[in-house]
Structures are given as structure tokens and as C-alpha cells.
Chains A and B, each alone.
Chain A
Amino acid sequence: MTRINVTVDGVTYEEDVEPRLLLVHLLRDRLGRTGTPIGCDTSNCGACTVMLEGRSVKSCSVLAVQVDGQDIVTVEGLASGGTDWHPMQRAFHEEHALQCGYCTPGMIMAAIDLLKDDPDPSDEAIRKGLEGNLCRCTGYTNIVRAVRRGAHSMSQDPEAAAAGARSAEEL
């Protein structure tokens, strides 16, 4: 067992973990952060995507011991105060970019990360940027529209846009 300290959605945890424990299982089974789901066992689907130190990672391909001392934001930590949705969450809702919603947490995290490098992406850049996140329901047309809308609102309202990344410190 290894002792780790980790901050998840603004809460600090100290946990003893087996070296082989996956981050996604730490989040789901130990910390009750079940908002982040698992869709595969080969790092292909992206359903498990979270922010680690402000950048997206697939939490099924990271070991819990690797995140010692680091800051994680999951989809559950995006809405500031829990109610004020991140513009990307709103955009997914407005554009009907989800059906079953299983891919949605990972898709939203990946989309937010994508905009960090390219705040005004073309449709093609959005499609390429989300290549590591699979959705079986929507056919992606509305996801692309949502990311475009999310990018637009975030450029209008950088405050709100930063909320997700900031929430860790604020809470």
C-alpha cells in the first residue's frame, strides 16, 4: 500500500492505495466520484476523461499512485457551487449533444481541454481533437455544434470558462 494525497473537485483526500489501483477506480469505488464512468479497458473510449493538473487525461490509463500531490477536476466539479453550469455543460444541453449521456462527462472534459490549445476551433479541428472520445448515440454532429457553441460562450465569458479549472481552489 502506498499513501497518496490528492485533491478531487476541491476536496483533499489521503488514501492508502495498492500500486496497481487505477485512478478511475480510486475516483469511483473509493471516493464515490461516480460521475466519471468507464467504457473500455484499452484506453480507447475516453469516457473516463478528467482534468489532471488542468489538462485532460484518461483516468483509466493513470495509476492512483501517480497522482500523489496533484489536483483533479471531474465532471462533478465543473459547475461552480454545484449549480452554475460550465458553459460547455450548457452547450451540450442546448445542442442536444447527448442521448444516453454515458460518453458525456469525458466528452465535455475533452472539449474543454481542446479549447485550451485552440479557443476557436474549426469543425475539422473539433472532430480531430475529440478523436479519442467515442459516442455511440449522437453521430457527433450535435457534439461538434456544442463544442462550437461552448467555445463561443467561453470567449464571451472567460470568467465562467475558467470556473471549472478554478473550482478546486475556490471551494
Chain B
Amino acid sequence: MTEEIDAGMVARRIAEDGDLSEPAPGRNEVGAARRRKEDARLVTGRTRWTDNIQLPGMLYVAFVRSPMAHARVTRVDTSAARAMPGVVAALSGADLAGEQGSLPCAWPVTEDIVLPDHPPMAVEEVRYAGEAVACVIATDRYKAADALEAVEVDYEPLPAVLDMVKALEEGSPKVHEAGNRSYVWKFGTGDVDAAFRDAPVVIERTYVQQRLIPSAMEPRAVVAETDGDFFTLHSSTQIPHILRIMLAQVTGIPEHKLRVVAPDVGGGFGSKLQVTAEEVILLLLARRLGKPVKWTESRSEGNLTVHHGRDQIQRLALAADADGRLRGLRVDLLADMGAYLMLVTPGIPILGAFMYNGIYKMDAYDFTCTGVFTTKMPTDAYRGAGRPEATFAIERLMDELADELSLDPVDLRRRNWIGHEEFPYTTVANLTYDSGNYEAATDRALAVFGYDKLRAEQADRRERGEPVQLGIGVSTYTEMCGLAPSRVLGSLSYGAGGWEHASVRMLPTGKVEVVTGTSPHGQGHETAWSQIVADALSVPFDDVSVIHGDTSSSHKGMDTYGSRSLVVGGIAVVQACDKVKEKARHIAAHMLEASPDDVEFAGGTFRVRGTDAAKTIQEVALAAFAAHDLPPGVEASLDSEATFDPENFSYPHGTHLCAVEVDTETGATRIREYVAVDDVGNVVNPMIVEGQVHGGIAQGVAQALFEEAVYDAEGNLLTTTMADYLLPSAADLPEFTTDRTETPATSNPLGVKGVGEAGTIASTPAVVNAIVDALRPFGVKDVPMPCTPERVWRAVHGGGS
């Protein structure tokens, strides 16, 4: 903690002062650190996780999974399993082949993309360890697990394909007949050759974004049931609405005969933005067996078969003038698709394509991404999805360039970033950043961090050759989120739009129901949407309830991912409220015997301008319900709905600073100080925003220091348990100091920006920059992630990397 400004204290004081939970009388709800409505059931255990559901006659499903990365399936014999007590059915992929269809990919990024068939259960060939080849259905979960042993499967091994570079070589074994190159996607602006020609400085680096396992704490679970005509599927999913459409298309069950429910969902981070094999198969089993069926994955099963994240090789070149001004950037990516293209697999690295320039100005940019098949679990969205990789690349390169030019890394960034007076600014990647103030966020972060003092300490330790060195990492990030303008998604060949839907119902007693198309799983929408509606309609916070996550009650939505819920879904709520008020104004005017033009709404009351004649919105709601005396042609309802399609992405930004102590003798690292100053525009609930930032930073730090999905030379996943895949515990992480600057977005009426992914995007390069900074005296220019003690030690003692 520094003496300059103790922002952590401010945040703590807010958190500790329970009174600040409610806004002062006359103050807005928006901006107050309201404690969450969601918590009551969560802290008392009255939760509705999918695995909690038990229905009469329910059967339990378990999957036989391939122990091999790549093999032909020559025989599956389920007869012995079927003969076991309590086993109702046992089915192979061949048994389901006629009805199981192919799992969807909604984002074929190029015209000529190789998009292989993806049967939910393998029929002839398995292409990653863990792929399902058979399932058993029994009367309880223990019996189902027992019966797995009795299923006999013969495999004829095929060569595993694990290394992306080798996979692209001539003569490499193939994952799919059509070859291992799924697509090549290119993008560029400006004359990049000119930018590099005669450039005084060119920094060339290759970084590896290791494969990660998203690891939401709630394992996936699915329950399916049918009365023979209508189907209901409960799933631990982020995307009940998209899932319904996709499942209807895959299974042929008509969309109007299918209800999808996301009950309480224990985290997602992108991993539950998927249409999974198990969801399809459970529906088919419910149809076949006429009984409710449930499947809950074990953690080991999940590590194998929940889509993974990241896994890219980044070949980068940055050209600059001698004073550090950026000229151009070349990015050549290999992105590991894994064995199949799942819902948005190919699009993930493309989401990063527009972010490699970060917050900086430059003349030219060139981007190529090659999607590569391997015999591993498919990759797909994981918190940040493409943008953490891009931000890591540019922020690491900026530190390398600063080192090359002997400039302070903050100073180099100042020379290149977009000035606050230059907004709106169209970047070299053709995005228009609406607003931002990088100077303000950085100045604040430097002050809170005590930058100069820590630099002095670093110099001192270097001078004295202390075994424990201090490193300071800088990350000045922005990101594009709030997915997304539908026209942009269309231009990128995405299969759907990016709007969001809301409806607002005024009940006769004056209470309000808000139906949202977002699908929260930890983000606190019930609280935040209540705050928004409380202000918009001037009703008490507690008079609002929020309905979500069930396609029968919330029929329309695009769900929750890509930091989109507030900036798209929240705005839809605002617009629906506007329509409610407009309808109410006409009825109020009639009640007050005035012209609607003379009636204004303030403080919950419709008032004839310049008089005392007034009706509260609750009185109007009751009058609309009674409908005894409505103006001619006006329907007996205030209920309204809105579908909002953003015109631009949302561009939060901020400056994260990390101080790391690195023990050069053991390779151990310890984060001593972590300061994050984020600018997410206006804030609806600062407590929730801070929580999102904390969690995001933790996941980004985890990529830098701890996590990696490791496959062995045969393609077996070694990190199947939480003992092998190192999720940080409380003891592994420091206290995060957070603060904010507020530069309102100009692209929406609340002035808000997305926050869900920002921490993750910003923090990974901050940590690695700090470690490399500590080790510069040893000639170290990189430490591959995760920066384990062994890797750090090797970097020090190998004289570089």
C-alpha cells in the first residue's frame, strides 16, 4: 500500500459501510453498492442447481469415453452392461447414428473453412481422449457407473496429432480426411511492408498461449424429460435461448415443443457457452426411453470434455521509430481448434484480430490466423476469448520495445496511445473507440501503486544483487466487448445477431416484473436490473423482480457472454421502461383530464405541468388493469418490450500494475502488489463491478502463473483433476487493489461499458511483464506461461529464453 492515495481503503470503506448499500433518499439507485438479491438463496443453500433436480422415475446416464486420442472404433458391445441390475439401456454411437445429427458450429469464419461432421457420440472414429463412444442408463448414479465397466469397446489406434506446426506439414497424419488446416483468415490495413521497410527497430517474438481449462465450479449437468410431445431440458448453461434453437435444429424437435431452462448456474466463463454432446444425447434418451434422464459430469470427465480455452502460437513483429513511435504490427497466429469446430471455435481467435493494436496508434497492421485441427478437446470461448491473447501480445511487445529503446514502459505507452482528446478514434483495425481516457487511468494507477518508489526499490535491489529481485509489470489494455452489433457479426460470418431483449410488466399492485434475455450465472443481474428499473420507473428497488433463464418465461434472448449483458441487455431494459412510461403518460393524462403533452414524469409521479394534479405510476398501473376508463384506442396494459441492437462494441480500458518478487535462486514468484484502475464508463453497482474485476484478475493471474492443460505424447490429458490442474486457492493470490476512473460510453444511454472480461484481459501480461522485468539483468526476455518456479529458474540460469 502506498502513501499517495489509498484506493483500496476507499473500496474497503464502501464495502464495510453497510449503510451505503442503499442510496440516500432522493439519490439514484444506479451507482449504489446494493447488496445482491441473489445472495439469500445462495448463502442458505436453497439453490436450484441442475443436479438438484430429482423427478419421479428418473434415470441416470453415464458415458463410456475414449481412452485414446485417435482411433478407429471397431466394436462396441453393450450387451453385458444391459444385463446388469438396474440398467435400463446401453447405447453406442451406432445406435444413435440415425438421429443424433451433428453438433453445430455457428461461426464458419471463411467460405472454404473445413467444417467436419461432429457426431455427439462417436460412431466410427474417436479424435480426442474423452470423446463419448457409448452410454449407459440406470436407476441410480452408482449403478450407471458400475455398468460402464461392462461395456466392451475395441479400438484400432491411429496416430495422435498434437503439435500444430507439425500438423500443418506435408505428410502429417490427418485428424480429418480434409486435412489439418481448417481455415486461413486474413485481415490488414495500411501498407505494412512500408511500415517495416527501413524501420529503425523491429521486435520479433513468438509467444505461446497455453491451453486452459475454464473450470467453472459447478460441473455441467443436464436433465431432460418429455411427455411424448413436449420436451424440457434443464442444463447448466450460459445460453438457454441459443441452446433451444440449436437443439431444435440438431434433433429435429420443433422449437415450439422444446423448453430450455438454465436454473442456478455455478459459473461459466465461456465454458457453458456451448451446445454439448451430452445435451443432445440426453434429449434423444428422454425421447427413446420416455423417462426423465439426468447426467452430471465428474470433474475429471469435465476436464477432458468441457471445451478448453486459448492454445495459440503467436508469431509477432512490431516495427517502430527510434523514438518509440509505432509504425506497424504483423501477427501470424496458429490457433488450435482441437478435434472439431464447436459453437464458436473458429471465431475465438478472430475476436482478437481487432485488438492486437490495443490502445495505440500505428500506421499499418497485418493479421493472419490459421485454424489447425489436432486430436485434442476442441477449444472455444474462455473468459476474454481472443482478446486476452491479443492484449498479451501487444502489452508484452511494448515492454520488449521499451527495453530495446531503454525507455520506461509507461513512457513508451504514453508516446503511442490515443489521447483523450482524440476520441472517437478509428483504429488501425478499423474499430471506432467511442471514449476513453488512458492518461487519467494510468496516472491514477501509478499514484495508487507508488510506481516511482517501487522503481527505486527495484534499482536498489539490482544494485545490491539481491537474490530476490523486484519486477514491475505494466498493462494498459482496452478491449472490445458488449457482443455485438448484429451487422458486424453478420459481416464476420457469424450465424446470429447480437441484440438483446427485455420486457417490463407493471403489475396491478404497482410491482414490476422484468423479463430479460440475459442469462446470469453469478453476475448479479437480478440486482443490477432492479437498480436500473427502480430509477427508470421511480419504483422501490424491492418492488422489482427479474425473470430469466427459462425459454418458457423469457422467450427471447441472446444470453450472457462477451461482457454483453449490461451494455446490450441492460439497455433493452431501459428502452422497455421508456415505453412503459410513454404508455402510462397517456393514461395518466386521461385520468388527469389533460393533454399528454402537458404531463411530465418525475419522482414516480405523472404531473400536469404547473399544477398539483398528479397520479403515481402505481395508480396508473391499477387504472390500466381495471380498464374502466381508458382513453379511446388505448389497450389495457402498460407492459412493454424492447429489442436493442448496439451500434458499436463497448471499449472498457484501464491500467493494471503488478509488482512481483522473484527469487532468482528458487524461481519462486510472489505478487507483492497488484493495482487495477479500470474505466468501465458509468457504473450501475460498484460492488458488483469490483467483484467482476477481482475474479477476472484472478483468472488472468492464473494463466500467467499456474494453469496449463497438458497432453502427453500419446494425446492423453494429464491434468484431469484439480490436483493436477492448478486452480489458485486463496493462499496463492494476493489482495487486489482496485480503483476506477469513469469516462462514460457515448454509445448507450446509460454510458456503461462491459466489465466481465476486463480483469482477465489485462492481468496476464501485467504479471508476465513483471516477472520478465525482474529478470532483465539476467538477460531474460521471456518466460513461457505458466511461469512456474521451474521455468523461472531455467530462464535465470539458462541466461535468457
Interface residues of A (CB under 8 A from B): 18, 20-21, 25, 28-29, 32-42, 44-45, 47, 74-76, 78-79, 82, 85, 89, 92-96, 98-105, 108, 123, 126-128, 130-145, 149
Residue B406 interfacial (CB < 8 Å): no
* Cα of A95 to Cα of B695 in the assembled complex, Å: 14
Which interface class (under 10, 10 to 19, 20 to 34, 35 or more) fits B? 35 or more
Residue B38 interfacial (CB < 8 Å): yes
* Cα of A144 to Cα of B219 in the assembled complex, Å: 25
One of B98-106, B610-618, B628-636, B728-736 at the interface: B728-736
Taking the nearest CB of chain A, how far is it from the CB of B218, in angstroms?
A: 5
Q: Is the CB of B44 within 8 A of A75?
A: yes
Give me the 5 closest cross-chain CB pairs, A-B, nearest first: A35-B45, A101-B42, A102-B266, A100-B522, A139-B698
Residue B775 interfacial (CB < 8 Å): no
Chain B residues whose CB sits within 8 angstroms of the CB of A100 once the complex forms = 42, 216-218, 264-267, 521-522
Q: Is the CB of A101 within 8 A of B691?
A: no
Q: Please tell me which one of the listed residues B266, B695, B731 contacts residue A138 in the complex, with CB atoms under 8 A apart.
A: B695
Q: Is the CB of A136 within 8 A of B219?
A: no
* Cα of A36 to Cα of B42 in the assembled complex, Å: 11
Q: Is the CB of B52 within 8 A of A34?
A: yes
Mind listing 16 A-B residue pairs with CB under 8 Å? Answer: A37-B218, A38-B219, A44-B721, A45-B299, A85-B43, A92-B43, A93-B35, A98-B39, A99-B524, A127-B733, A136-B727, A137-B695, A138-B695, A138-B698, A139-B695, A141-B736
Q: Is the CB of A98 within 8 A of B267?
A: no
Take A45-B722, A101-B47, A136-B217 as given contacts and tell me if A40 and B299 are in contact as well, using a CB distance cutoff of 8 Å: yes
Chain A residues whose CB sits within 8 angstroms of the CB of B45 once the complex forms = 33-36, 74-76, 105
* Cα of A147 to Cα of B522 in the assembled complex, Å: 20
Residue B54 interfacial (CB < 8 Å): yes
Taking the nearest CB of chain B, how far is it from the CB of A150, in angstroms?
A: 11
Taking the nearest CB of chain B, how far is it from the CB of A100, in angstroms?
A: 3
Taking the nearest CB of chain B, how far is it from the CB of A44, in angstroms?
A: 4
Taking the nearest CB of chain B, how far is it from the CB of A115, in angstroms?
A: 15
Q: Is the CB of A144 within 8 A of B39?
A: no
* Cα of A34 to Cα of B51 in the assembled complex, Å: 9
Q: Is the CB of B722 within 8 A of A144?
A: no
* Cα of A137 to Cα of B698 in the assembled complex, Å: 8
Q: Please tell me which one of the listed residues A132, A134, A141 contacts residue B694 in the complex, with CB atoms under 8 A apart.
A: A141
Q: Please tell me which one of the listed residues A33, A35, A102, A143 contacts residue B44 in the complex, with CB atoms under 8 A apart.
A: A35
Binary per-residue interface labels of chain B (282-315) against chain A in the complex, 1 for a CB within 8 Å, 0 otherwise? 0000000000000000111000000000000000
Name the interface residues of B189-247: CB closer than 8 Å to any CB of A: 215-219
* Cα of A139 to Cα of B266 in the assembled complex, Å: 15
Residue B165 interfacial (CB < 8 Å): no
Residue B687 interfacial (CB < 8 Å): yes
Nearest residue, chain A, Cβ from B140: A29
Taking the nearest CB of chain A, how far is it from the CB of B157, in angstroms?
A: 27
The residue among B523, B690, B729 with the most chain A CB atoms within 10 A of its own CB is B729
Take A96-B687, A101-B43, A142-B691 as given contacts and tell me if A20 and B733 are in contact as well, using a CB distance cutoff of 8 Å: no
Nearest residue, chain A, Cβ from B33: A96
Q: Is the CB of A93 within 8 A of B521?
A: no
Binary per-residue interface labels of chain B (694-716) against chain A in the complex, 1 for a CB within 8 Å, 0 otherwise? 11111100000000000000000
Nearest residue, chain A, Cβ from B38: A101
Q: Is the CB of B217 within 8 A of A45?
A: yes
Taking the nearest CB of chain A, how far is it from the CB of B776, in angstroms?
A: 28
* Cα of A142 to Cα of B692 in the assembled complex, Å: 11
Nearest residue, chain A, Cβ from B217: A102
Name the interface residues of B372-418: CB closer than 8 Å to any CB of A: none
Nearest residue, chain B, Cβ from A44: B722
A sample of 16 more A-B contacts (CB under 8 A), given A96-B691, A99-B267, A142-B15, is A38-B219, A39-B219, A40-B721, A40-B722, A89-B44, A93-B35, A94-B21, A99-B695, A101-B42, A101-B266, A104-B43, A130-B729, A134-B729, A136-B727, A138-B695, A139-B736
Chain A residues whose CB sits within 8 angstroms of the CB of B49 once the complex forms = 34, 37, 102
Chain A residues whose CB sits within 8 angstroms of the CB of B217 once the complex forms = 39, 45, 47, 100, 102-103, 134-137
Q: Is the CB of B47 within 8 A of A35?
A: yes
* Cα of A85 to Cα of B215 in the assembled complex, Å: 30
Q: Is the CB of B688 within 8 A of A137?
A: no
Q: Is the CB of A99 within 8 A of B722?
A: no
Take A138-B694, A139-B697 as given contacts and tell me if A145 and B15 are in contact as well, using a CB distance cutoff of 8 Å: yes
Take A41-B299, A96-B688, A99-B267 as given contacts and tell me if A140 and B43 are in contact as well, using a CB distance cutoff of 8 Å: no
Chain A residues whose CB sits within 8 angstroms of the CB of B140 once the complex forms = 29
Q: Is the CB of A41 within 8 A of B721?
A: yes
Chain B residues whose CB sits within 8 angstroms of the CB of A18 once the complex forms = 142
Residue B46 interfacial (CB < 8 Å): yes
Q: Is the CB of A130 within 8 A of B730?
A: yes
* Cα of A18 to Cα of B44 in the assembled complex, Å: 29
Q: Please tell me which one of the listed residues B16, B142, B695 contacts residue A149 in the complex, with CB atoms under 8 A apart.
A: B16
Chain A residues whose CB sits within 8 angstroms of the CB of B697 once the complex forms = 139
Chain B residues whose CB sits within 8 angstroms of the CB of A95 once the complex forms = 15
Chain A residues whose CB sits within 8 angstroms of the CB of B42 once the complex forms = 98, 100-101, 104
Residue B36 interfacial (CB < 8 Å): yes
Q: Is the CB of B52 within 8 A of A28?
A: yes
Q: Is the CB of B43 within 8 A of A98?
A: yes
Residue B269 interfacial (CB < 8 Å): yes
Taking the nearest CB of chain B, how far is it from the CB of A87, in angstroms?
A: 11
Nearest residue, chain B, Cβ from A21: B142
Q: Please tell me which one of the listed residues A35, A39, A123, A132 contacts residue B46 in the complex, with CB atoms under 8 A apart.
A: A35
Q: Please tell me which one of the listed residues B51, B523, B690, B731 contacts residue A37 in the complex, with CB atoms under 8 A apart.
A: B51
Q: Is the CB of B39 within 8 A of A101?
A: yes
Residue B723 interfacial (CB < 8 Å): yes
Residue B256 interfacial (CB < 8 Å): no
Residue B467 interfacial (CB < 8 Å): no
Binary per-residue interface labels of chain B (146-178) against chain A in the complex, 1 for a CB within 8 Å, 0 otherwise? 000000000000000000000000000000000
Q: Is the CB of A99 within 8 A of B721?
A: no
Q: Is the CB of B47 within 8 A of A41?
A: no
Chain B residues whose CB sits within 8 angstroms of the CB of A41 once the complex forms = 298-300, 721
Taking the nearest CB of chain B, how far is it from the CB of A146, in angstroms?
A: 9
* Cα of A74 to Cα of B40 in the assembled complex, Å: 16
Q: Is the CB of B36 within 8 A of A93?
A: yes
Taking the nearest CB of chain B, how far is it from the CB of A83, in angstroms?
A: 9
Chain B residues whose CB sits within 8 angstroms of the CB of A25 once the complex forms = 141
* Cα of A101 to Cα of B722 in the assembled complex, Å: 19
Chain A residues whose CB sits within 8 angstroms of the CB of B18 once the complex forms = 94
Chain B residues whose CB sits within 8 angstroms of the CB of A145 once the complex forms = 12, 15-16
Taking the nearest CB of chain A, how far is it from the CB of B647, in angstroms?
A: 30
Q: Is the CB of B43 within 8 A of A134?
A: no
Q: Is the CB of B721 within 8 A of A42?
A: yes
Name the interface residues of B251-284: CB closer than 8 Å to any CB of A: 264-267, 269
Taking the nearest CB of chain B, how far is it from the CB of A22, in angstroms?
A: 9
